[in-house]
Structure 1
Amino acid sequence: MFWLSIMAAGICLSCLLWLVFQPWAQSCSATSSQQNRGVLRFVWPWVQALSQVCKPFISWARRRRLGQLLSLSAWPEDWRPEHVVALQLLCFILGAVLSIGALFQYAKPGLPALLGAGLVAGSVLACLPVQHLRRRAKERQLAMLREFPFMLDMTTLCVEAGLNLQGALIQAATHGPQGALMSELRRAQTDMRAGMPRIAALKLFAVRTGLAEVQQWVMAMEQADSLGMSLGPILRAQSEQRRNERFLRAEKLALQAPVKMLFPMVVCIFPCTFLVIAFPIVIKLLSADF
C-alpha cells in the first residue's frame, strides 16, 4: 500500500506539472507575436490556454466593455476580452495562493479565515488588469485631448491655404507632434487610401479616440460636407472652441488644487504645527510650581 500511495502521488504530481507547463511548451514550439511583449510574454501561454475556458462565460455586455477598453488603451490587436478575463483569473489564483501560503506559514489560522483571506486577496489582485487598462485609456485620452487643438490649427491653416480636408489631415499628421492622436489619424488615412469613404473613416477615428470633442468635430465635418459649406470658418470655430475648453479645464484644475490640498494639510501638516507650538507650553506648565 505504501508503494501504491507513492505511485499515485507521483502520477498526480506529473499530471499537475503537465497541466502547468504544457501551455509554455506549446508557446515555445509555435511562433507568436506575444513573445516580444515584455513582462506579459511570461504569462501569455497560460492566458491563451485559459482564454478558451473563460470565453463561454463572458457576457456580451462585459465583452463590449472590455473591447472598448482594449481599443481606447491601444492594447495589441491580438488581445481579446477573453484574454483579459483569463489574466484576471490568473491574478486571482496567484493572490489567493500567496495569501493562503503566507497566512499558513506565519499565523496558521483556521480554514474559514484562510479561505476568506484568499478570496479577498484574489479578488483585489484580479481587479488590477482592468484598472490598468482604465488608467492607460484615461492617460491616452488626456494626451489626445492635449494634441487635438494643434491638429485643428494645422488642418485649418492647410484648408485656408487651398488644400482639401483629406490633404490638410495628411499635412497635420505628417508635421504634427508624435502622439496617440496622430497615430489614430494616420490609421484613418490608411482606411481612406484603402477605399473607405472619408466621413466613415473619420467616424471610426472618433470612435477609437472615445472623445466627445472629436465626435463633435466629425459631425461638423459631415454636416459641412453634406451641405457643401466652406470648411475654413467651421474649422476655425472648432479650433477656437477647443482652445477655450482647454483653458477652462486648466482653470478648473487650478481651482480644485486648494480643495485637494486641504486633506493632507489637516491630517499631516496641522498636527505637526500644533505639536511644535504646544510642546514648549506644556513643558513650562508641567515644570511650574502652583
Structure 2
Amino acid sequence: MDYLIGMLNSIIEDQQMSQLAFVVLMAVAVFCLALAGMFLMTTLFHPVRSRLHNVVAPEASGTSSGGSFAPLVKSLSPYVLPKKEKELNRTGQRLVHAGFRSDNALSNFYAIKTLLIIGLPLAVFFGLNWVPGLSSLEILQAATAATLVGALGPNYVLGKLIERRKRKLYNGFPDALDLLVVCTEAGYGLKPAIQRVADELVVGHPELSEELALVNSEMRAGVDRIDALKNLSERTGLEEIGGLVALLSQSLRFGTSTAESLRIYSEEFRDKRMQRAEEAAATISTKMIFPLVFCMFPAFFVVAIGPAVVGVLDHFKG
C-alpha cells in the first residue's frame, strides 16, 4: 500500500491528493466487483427460477424483472453494448441457447463483462500491494492477467452453460420423441401431443419440458405451427431437435402423416444413438491404456514379482 501511495505521490506530487486517489481507486474496484457479483447472482445462477416466476406470476414479473438493477443496466447499455450488430446477434443467440431469454439478458452480460474488466484488475493491483516481496512488474503482470480473465471469463462461463443445457436437452430428447410417437399414433393432434409430452417431462427433463410448453403457448397465441417449431430449433441449438423440426415442418407443409413421419425419424434416431454407442465402446480399449499402464500394471508387478525379487536379494546376501 505504501508503495502504491508513493507511486501515486510521484505522479500527483501531493501527499494528501495521493491518499485520496488511492481511496477512490479502491472504492471503484470494490464497487465494480460487488456490482458484477450482484449481476451474476441475479442473472446467471437462477435462470430457471426466474423463468418459472414469470410463468407463475406474470403480472409481478413485469414490474420486478431485473430487480433494482434494471434502471442501472438500461443506463449502462449504450456504453457496454458493442456497436457491431453481428456480434450482438451472436451473443444474444448464445444467451438464448444457455436459457436466458429476458429482454435485459444481453445488457446484463455485457455489464458483468465490463465491470469485471475494470474491477478485477484494480482489485488485484491493490490487493497485491499488501503482499510483501512482489515487484511492480509482477503486480502489473498479475493485473494484466486479471484483465484477461475479466474479458474472457464470462464467455467461458457462458460456453459451459450452453454445453450443460444442450446436454440436458439431448438426454431428454429420446424420451420426448418416443412420447410424441405414442401420442400421435394414439390419435392426438400435434398441439395436444406436444402439450402432453411437456406435461410428462416436467419432473424428469424440465428444460425440454419448458421448451415444448413454450412451443405450445406460441401456437395458442396464433403463431404458425411451422414458425413455432423453427423458434424451438433456434432456441435450443441442438442438431437433433433441428432435424425433428425440419421433419415436422415438411409433414405439415405437404400434409403427410405426422405419426408416420415421427415413427420413421424415431427409428433413424435410435439407429444413430446405437452407432454412437458402438463408436464410444470401440474407443474404450484405447482410453484404458493409460490407467492400465500407469496405475494397475505397476501394482500388479509389485505383487507378482516383488516376493521373488526379495527372495533373490536375500539369497545373494546369504
Query: Per the shorter chain, which TM-score range?
Result: 0.7 to 0.9
Q: Report deviation, 1:266.
A: 5.1
Of stretches 92-101 and 35-44 in structure 1, the one that deviates more from structure 2 is 35-44
Inter-partner Cα distance in structure 2 for 1:99 and 1:24: 14
Per-residue CA distance 1:168-208 (angstroms, 9 max, x = gap): 21222222353211110100111111111111111101111
Tell me if 1:62 matches 2:118: no
Tell me if 1:71 matches 2:96: yes
Structure 1 residues 157 and 263: CA distance shift in structure 2, 3 A? same
Residue 247 of structure 1, aligned match among 274, 296, 308: 274
TM-score by length of 1: 0.74
Structure 1 residues 282 and 100: CA distance shift in structure 2, 3 A? farther
Tell me if 1:183 matches 2:225: no
Inter-partner Cα distance in structure 1 for 2:136 and 2:34: 33
- Percent identity between the two aligned chains: 28
Inter-partner Cα distance in structure 1 for 2:91 and 2:312: 64
Residue 160 of structure 1 corresponds to: 185
Residue 206 of structure 1 corresponds to: 233
User: Which blocks of at least 5 consecutive residues in structure 1 are unaligned?
Assistant: none
Residue 5 of structure 2 corresponds to: none
Of stretches 271-280 and 63-72 in structure 1, the one that deviates more from structure 2 is 271-280
Residue correspondence of structure 1 range 229-268 to structure 2 within 5 A: 229-264=256-291
Q: Report deviation, 1:254.
A: 3.2
Q: Equivalent residue of 1:127, what SS?
A: helix
Q: Equivalent residue of 1:163, what SS?
A: coil
Inter-partner Cα distance in structure 1 for 2:267 and 2:174: 8
TM-score by length of 2: 0.69
Which amino acid in 2 is paired with 1:202?
L
Tell me if 1:132 matches 2:157: yes
Inter-partner Cα distance in structure 2 for 1:96 and 1:22: 11
Inter-partner Cα distance in structure 2 for 1:39 and 1:180: 13
Inter-partner Cα distance in structure 2 for 1:288 and 1:91: 68
Structure 1 residues 108 and 201: CA distance shift in structure 2, 3 A? same
Q: Report deviation, 1:44.
A: 6.0
Residue 53 of structure 1 corresponds to: 79
Alignment RMSD (CA, Å): 4.2
Per-residue CA distance 1:236-258 (angstroms, 9 max, x = gap): 01111222222333333333444
Q: Equivalent residue of 2:187, what SS?
A: coil
Q: Is the 8 A contact 1:23 1:45 kept in 2?
A: no
Inter-partner Cα distance in structure 2 for 1:20 and 1:97: 9
Which amino acid in 1 is paired with 2:277?
A
Residue 118 of structure 1 corresponds to: 143
User: Which blocks of at least 5 consecutive residues in structure 2 are unaligned?
Assistant: 1-13, 48-65
- The number of aligned residues is 280
Residue correspondence of structure 1 range 20-59 to structure 2 within 5 A: 48=73, 51-55=77-81, 57-59=82-84
Tell me if 1:150 matches 2:175: yes
Q: Equivalent residue of 2:102, what SS?
A: coil
Of stretches 77-86 and 44-53 in structure 1, the one that deviates more from structure 2 is 44-53
Inter-partner Cα distance in structure 2 for 1:212 and 1:7: 60
Tell me if 1:228 matches 2:230: no
Residue 170 of structure 1 corresponds to: 195
Q: Report deviation, 1:141.
A: 1.2
Of stretches 250-259 and 218-227 in structure 1, the one that deviates more from structure 2 is 250-259
Inter-partner Cα distance in structure 2 for 1:99 and 1:274: 50
